Structure 1
Amino acid sequence: MAADGGSFSATLPCVFSPGARRYLAACAPDGRLRIWDPDTGTLRQEHAPSAHLSATCTCIAWGPCRAPQEGPQRKKRKSEVGQLVEQTDLLALGTAAGTVLIYSTVKGDLHSTLDGGHSGGVNCVQWHPQDSLLYSGSDDTHIAEWDLQTGKTRCKWRADRAAVTSLCVSPDGKLLLSAGMTIKMWDLETKEVYRKFTGHSTMVTDLCFATTRPPDSDGLYFLSGASHDRLLSVWQVRSDGKDKNAVVSFTLTDEPRHIDLQTSSSKDEAVRLAVVCKDGQLHLFEHFLNGPCKKPLSPVCSLQVSGVRAGDTPVPVPLLAASLCADRQRLLLAYGSHLQPVLESVPINTSERHVCLVRDLHTALSLSVDAAVSKVKTPIVNDQKSKVLIPGLPGHQAPIRATPSQSEKRKKGPSTKEMSIEERLQHIELGVSSDKAESEGVSASLQVDNCAVLLVQALESRDNKMLNKIFQMKREPLIRNTVARIPPPAVLPLLEELSRRLQGHPFTAVLIVQWLKAVLTQHTSYLSSLPDLVTQLGTLYHMMESRVKVYQQLTRLNGKLYLLMTQVASSSSSHREEDLDHMAKLVYEEDSSDEDEGSGDEGLPEDDSDSWEEDEEKDELMDVMDRKAHEGEEDTREERKTRADLDFDPENESEEE
């Protein structure tokens, strides 16, 4: 039985399936679900939800081992009966969008989607052991009971004032444990609180029932683990209600991330517990739950996996998940990266308190390349005389070239003015543009150096506010120069931060792509020297692949929409042209004169070349007639003028009187 953390934790869910046939379900940083086969160590299935980038998986829970009821019924062989009983088919995935996805490993596809039950992200999911029911806890402080046959919520109730971070159903299916800041035990028939347990000062991340005994016999135990807590607490459900404090506690090296245990059915049977901590170590516990124990119990065995880099430098490899086998003699481990974990079955040796497994991850995950096709030749190097130094590893630091503003002292002159401390702090602010800085007498290199220093400090302190200011820069030369000035140890954290921000809103991704291009262009030589580059860039590769995968369909849709809009626009314009009235509202006619007729005939082509003399005579006659008409008009004007003068002459008026 495995209990999983929720969306409040930074880890990705990774769980082994129950039963004899084991599979590993792991969610990668790109939002995809991958099913691995531990026997062969290969990828069995891969599922990418439609909204895997916007609604990432936050928790995983395997369904109970049941015989499949779908399909036509036929008579089973004796060899098939045992396999069908232990077969695990369904897998529940809680998402940050508030939905629960049911994935079928037999079909290899999405079985159903449960939505409408939560208004916040789902932190935990838990199956009912007998009935076809599923329980989910969310950030909206509610618990939802889902009916898997109808795909709808049967019941929903508020569990606590804070978010519900963990759930667990009792083996008999009558009790439900829920936890946020306080652990509550619910009666599933009445949906009322049966018990309350307080003892953790932080969010409870793991809940597991340790025994299968009924609660009335004072033999029902469960354990709980919280974030930032190095103790696992064991609680006893007593019939008299005196169960306010934990009865047993297990010591850990760090907060628990994954728990797998084998329950006990009687007092004479010990509980075996395997806990994977945040620091990547595994602790094994074995204890008889028969009463309180005041002293914290230490693990009987601690296990850690270590890898080897160049120069025989041991590097710890984090454990992702662990599972106790049914024979109680072996342990199934998953370690390495979520993109391609290494699966291994190791024997349990409790005689040694600390066990360290040294494994070569590059040999286990190396890709086979045909020697006849490959043209790359490996040089022969004498390991005794040569020493390999890789940038970024201990013992080697790349020299950082100082800028001229740092190496040279500022010369004081009569025209230059010394900047005050207040002015220097103002110029460090990222809102100052390069043009404004140059107009105020600040060099562009000073601004770039300040941005590089602020970027390194923000990456080390993980200051999101400062990182948001830095990544809002849009000038490509400023981005390129800033990335070029950061030291090599800060390149990989910058690449991880850019990969994380690239999964957000598309408008944010437009700005992040410029930074990513600058990093891959300026620091290609350093990135190619890293031994685990495939693991670091795997998330970025899968994320880009998922985004580009739908580009062709979007291009086709864009073309179809463009044709449709063009046809709509052309049809509407044709209707407007038909509605126009072609009849003129007003017609203006101008009287034609001889001069206009004569001038209009000048531009016409000549039909007969022999009639040019007659045309010239006509033109001369027309000129004479025009002159006479002009002279006649002048005479009439003079006569009118003399008449007017005579009319207005005062002497003529006196004569008339």
Structure 2
Amino acid sequence: MLNTMALGQQHVLSFSPDGKWFALINDQGILRLWDTETNELKQEYTPNLQLSGPCTALTWVISTAPAAESIEGKKSKKNRRSLTNTLYLALGTSNGRVSLYSFALGKIERTLKGDGHNGKVTCLVQDGEGNIYSSGEDCQILVWSLTEEKKLSSWSVGPEKPYSIVYLPISNNLIVGGRQIKVYSVATHELVQTFTGHTADINMLNSLVLGDRVEYVTSTSRMERIICLWKVGKKGRNKSAACTLLMEDVAHCVTCQVDNQGNVRVASVTRSGVIHVYLIGIESLKPEKPIKPKITIEVVSDSETVIAPIPAIAVSLNYSSQSNELIFGYGNQSFLCFERLTPNFVERHQVLIRTDPKSLYLASGKGNKKDVKTGSTQKTITPIVNEADVEYKSSTTVSKKKLKPVEMPMESRLQNLNLNAPPGSGAPQAQSKVQLLVQALHSKDNVLLCSVLHTHDIKTIQLTLHKLPVQYVGPLVNELTQFMQQKRMNVEYAVDWLKVLVQTHSSQLMALGSEDLLSKFGPCIGLIEHRVNCLNELTKIHGRLELLINQIKRNTEEDHLNSANVLVYEDNDSSDSDLEEEGEKSGSNDEWDEDIEDTEIMDQDQDGENNEGSGNEDDEEMEV
């Protein structure tokens, strides 16, 4: 089963049934087709924006109707044989229509009849009976017939918008991915089963069959770094995932396969351009423990000066000649190279050194003149200039006669020095960065955006967001949501900007309505809830660490008390000093006795004199 794989929010990509062709829709809704064997860009289709609108979804289909002969009319036998190609691309547009793109003609051959979606088409998938199922933003599933070229039926899957669908041929069910995963019966349009486990919108679904015709579905969301594997069975709600796969970043492409030994192989390409390969046995499908990748593959450039990473764009396990091979493409949306690789499960981390596809493209354009004439490659001609003869001039040329020396008086120079300015008055003031922020959001320059958002100055943030146009509030929220998934430093910056953003543009945000507001801030709320769920475990770890640290400190203090004495204090009234003083006193007792006798004699003499004096005073009183 061929499934469309989402790249970002609007871009989609897919390999052909035989893996020879690769189709991608870029940011502007332009379709591009590559040959995976020669790495050549074969076709590029720009839709009429006024009639059909940009492309939003695609899937490869095989049609047996000889439409090429009937449309072209009378042609030669050679041309009719070349146009009887049954390989088509079903394209969904932003106006809700489904069209068939002919690979042989290089244009839209026909558009399916009937009322389309009231909004853009989000995903397309084909079943084995020649029907196409499409999902749209109007929460509707439409069934289209390729043979009759018209709409057959439709049913509602709301209120959540579906972003990805996949068809299960064994059970004749259609899996719809929105905020939840819902299983619908194609025959009765009845909701059979529901899976809940993602916090953001599900943008990729893939199906596989294990064991005795047991169907499984893999899913991943826009803002999560996990891949969930679900078992589709009987009726029920809120079934848990069979297993969970961990990634280092958000997935942009997911593919799965069951090998000859019955093991499950899953490969994913993350937003950072890294390929993860998982090898899972059927007996190890356990929901308790997440599974880490068996191999991580990175592609880097072979430049002599700078070793720069080359991001991977797509990967597939279903279109290789051998069961254990994978095909992947690396580069960017304009320049791609494809390669087949047999993973080596002995090495955990593999780094592939390759040449940048852009440099290869430019080099081939310079060397081959025939390709330049046909327009298949571009050639850049650099003029040969002697730098010694070059004279650089400014945009405004002024003749030397008009230039006059400007002399500034001493008074003005002293005023410019500002010697009497109070201290602290020359501190830099907060400035608005609204122009840089608008430029970064418009050009999607990550380096410029980081230079603007990496600040904790509240005044600068307030001035910038106060002057920010309203149409850039939504893209800023998306960028801040991506910041919250990165390191702790970026999370702190994102929280500061989100606080001021909600306070500054609260009226504009409330005018969006509950649904649009939830779609904007839903991923942020999911990330915050995910981080808050880890708070209890972190608190337990913090408490245990404090207990260990306090115990270590207590043990070190006891050892310090049992060590040698730091200070010794000698008391003069101790027993040793008393013995010495007694010896000294025994030797000087005689001196103390003599002193005592002398003092007693002197006291007696003084008492006699006092008595005589008192007698004379009594005689005088008697005479008076």
Equivalent residue of 1:97, what SS?
Answer: coil
Give the deviation of 1:348 after TM superposition: 2.4
| 340, 343, 346: which one aligns with 2:335 | 340
Counterparts of 1:315-464 in structure 2 under 5 Å?
Answer: 315-324=308-317, 325-361=320-356, 362-365=358-361, 366-369=363-366, 460=449
The aligned counterpart of 1:201 is 199
Equivalent residue of 2:133, what SS?
Answer: strand
Counterparts of 1:201-600 in structure 2 under 5 Å?
Answer: 201-211=199-209, 219-239=214-234, 241=236, 244-263=239-258, 269-290=262-283, 292-293=285-286, 294-308=288-302, 312-324=305-317, 325-361=320-356, 362-365=358-361, 366-369=363-366, 460=449, 466=467, 468=469
Residue range with higher mean Cα deviation, 228-237 or 87-96: 87-96
The aligned counterpart of 1:417 is none
Distance 2:383 2:234 in 1: 73
**How far does the alpha carbon of each residue in 1:441-486 deviate from its partner, in whole angstroms, 9 at most, with x for none?**
xxxxxxxxx8766767876258899564899xxxxxxxxxxxxxxx
Decide whether aligned partners of structure 1 residues 3 and 255 sit closer, same or farther in structure 2, where only a CA change above 3 A counts: farther
**Contact 1:258–1:275 (CA<8 Å) still a contact in 2?**
yes
**Contact 1:93–1:102 (CA<8 Å) still a contact in 2?**
yes
**Contact 2:144–2:151 (CA<8 Å) still a contact in 1?**
yes
Decide whether aligned partners of structure 1 residues 144 and 464 sit closer, same or farther in structure 2, where only a CA change above 3 A counts: farther
**Contact 1:135–1:144 (CA<8 Å) still a contact in 2?**
yes
| 40, 43, 52: which one aligns with 2:41 | 43
The aligned counterpart of 2:148 is 150
The aligned counterpart of 1:479 is none
The aligned counterpart of 2:17 is 18
Distance 1:254 1:209 in 2: 22
- Letter of the 2:117 counterpart: H
Give the deviation of 1:271 after TM superposition: 2.1
The aligned counterpart of 2:76 is none
Residue range with higher mean Cα deviation, 150-159 or 49-58: 49-58
The aligned counterpart of 1:4 is 4
Give the deviation of 1:301 after TM superposition: 1.1
Give the total of aligned pairs: 394
Distance 1:457 1:14 in 2: 26
**Contact 2:35–2:42 (CA<8 Å) still a contact in 1?**
yes
**Contact 1:6–1:123 (CA<8 Å) still a contact in 2?**
no
- Letter of the 1:338 counterpart: Q
Residue range with higher mean Cα deviation, 93-102 or 279-288: 93-102
Equivalent residue of 1:321, what SS?
Answer: strand
Q: TM-score with structure 1 length normalisation? A: 0.53
**How far does the alpha carbon of each residue in 1:349-385 deviate from its partner, in whole angstroms, 9 at most, with x for none?**
2221111112221542223436999785699xxxxxx
**Contact 1:276–1:321 (CA<8 Å) still a contact in 2?**
yes
Distance 2:271 2:24 in 1: 17
- Letter of the 1:228 counterpart: M
Decide whether aligned partners of structure 1 residues 453 and 112 sit closer, same or farther in structure 2, where only a CA change above 3 A counts: closer
**Contact 2:193–2:235 (CA<8 Å) still a contact in 1?**
no
List alignment gaps of at least 5 residues for structure 2. Answer: 70-81, 370-378, 387-412, 420-424, 442-447, 454-463, 473-624
**Contact 2:48–2:54 (CA<8 Å) still a contact in 1?**
no
**Contact 2:164–2:203 (CA<8 Å) still a contact in 1?**
yes
Counterparts of 1:634-653 in structure 2 under 5 Å?
Answer: none
Distance 1:222 1:409 in 2: 76
**Contact 2:192–2:234 (CA<8 Å) still a contact in 1?**
no
The aligned counterpart of 1:29 is 27
Decide whether aligned partners of structure 1 residues 457 and 207 sit closer, same or farther in structure 2, where only a CA change above 3 A counts: closer
Give the deviation of 1:168 after TM superposition: 0.2
Distance 1:38 1:302 in 2: 22
- Letter of the 2:4 counterpart: D
Distance 2:89 2:60 in 1: 5
Give the deviation of 1:263 after TM superposition: 3.9
Decide whether aligned partners of structure 1 residues 455 and 292 sit closer, same or farther in structure 2, where only a CA change above 3 A counts: closer
Equivalent residue of 2:364, what SS?
Answer: coil
- Letter of the 2:301 counterpart: G
Give the deviation of 1:170 after TM superposition: 0.6
**How far does the alpha carbon of each residue in 1:588-609 deviate from its partner, in whole angstroms, 9 at most, with x for none?**
xxxxxxxxxxxxxxxxxxxxxx
Decide whether aligned partners of structure 1 residues 153 and 212 sit closer, same or farther in structure 2, where only a CA change above 3 A counts: farther
Decide whether aligned partners of structure 1 residues 52 and 344 sit closer, same or farther in structure 2, where only a CA change above 3 A counts: farther
Equivalent residue of 1:349, what SS?
Answer: coil
**Contact 2:434–2:468 (CA<8 Å) still a contact in 1?**
no
List alignment gaps of at least 5 residues for structure 1. Answer: 73-83, 380-406, 414-419, 430-449, 472-657
Equivalent residue of 1:210, what SS?
Answer: strand
Equivalent residue of 1:367, what SS?
Answer: helix
The aligned counterpart of 1:116 is 115
The aligned counterpart of 2:162 is 164
Decide whether aligned partners of structure 1 residues 53 and 275 sit closer, same or farther in structure 2, where only a CA change above 3 A counts: farther
Decide whether aligned partners of structure 1 residues 213 and 347 sit closer, same or farther in structure 2, where only a CA change above 3 A counts: closer
Distance 1:116 1:67 in 2: 24
**Contact 2:259–2:324 (CA<8 Å) still a contact in 1?**
no
**Contact 1:126–1:167 (CA<8 Å) still a contact in 2?**
yes
After superposition, the CA RMSD in angstroms is 4.1
Distance 2:41 2:191 in 1: 43
- Letter of the 2:170 counterpart: D
**How far does the alpha carbon of each residue in 1:165-190 deviate from its partner, in whole angstroms, 9 at most, with x for none?**
11000133711000111111111001
The aligned counterpart of 1:185 is 183
- Letter of the 1:184 counterpart: K
Decide whether aligned partners of structure 1 residues 344 and 377 sit closer, same or farther in structure 2, where only a CA change above 3 A counts: farther
Equivalent residue of 1:369, what SS?
Answer: helix
Identity %: 25
Decide whether aligned partners of structure 1 residues 34 and 457 sit closer, same or farther in structure 2, where only a CA change above 3 A counts: closer
Distance 1:332 1:312 in 2: 29
Give the deviation of 1:112 after TM superposition: 2.1
Give the deviation of 1:411 after TM superposition: 8.1
Distance 1:56 1:4 in 2: 17
**Contact 2:210–2:262 (CA<8 Å) still a contact in 1?**
no
Decide whether aligned partners of structure 1 residues 110 and 376 sit closer, same or farther in structure 2, where only a CA change above 3 A counts: same
Decide whether aligned partners of structure 1 residues 285 and 2 sit closer, same or farther in structure 2, where only a CA change above 3 A counts: farther
- Letter of the 1:108 counterpart: G
- Letter of the 1:301 counterpart: I
- Letter of the 2:327 counterpart: L
Equivalent residue of 2:308, what SS?
Answer: strand
**Contact 1:5–1:59 (CA<8 Å) still a contact in 2?**
no
Give the deviation of 1:288 after TM superposition: 2.8
Equivalent residue of 2:119, what SS?
Answer: coil
| 82, 87, 91: which one aligns with 1:89 | 87
The aligned counterpart of 1:98 is 96
**Contact 1:209–1:221 (CA<8 Å) still a contact in 2?**
yes
Give the deviation of 1:308 after TM superposition: 4.6
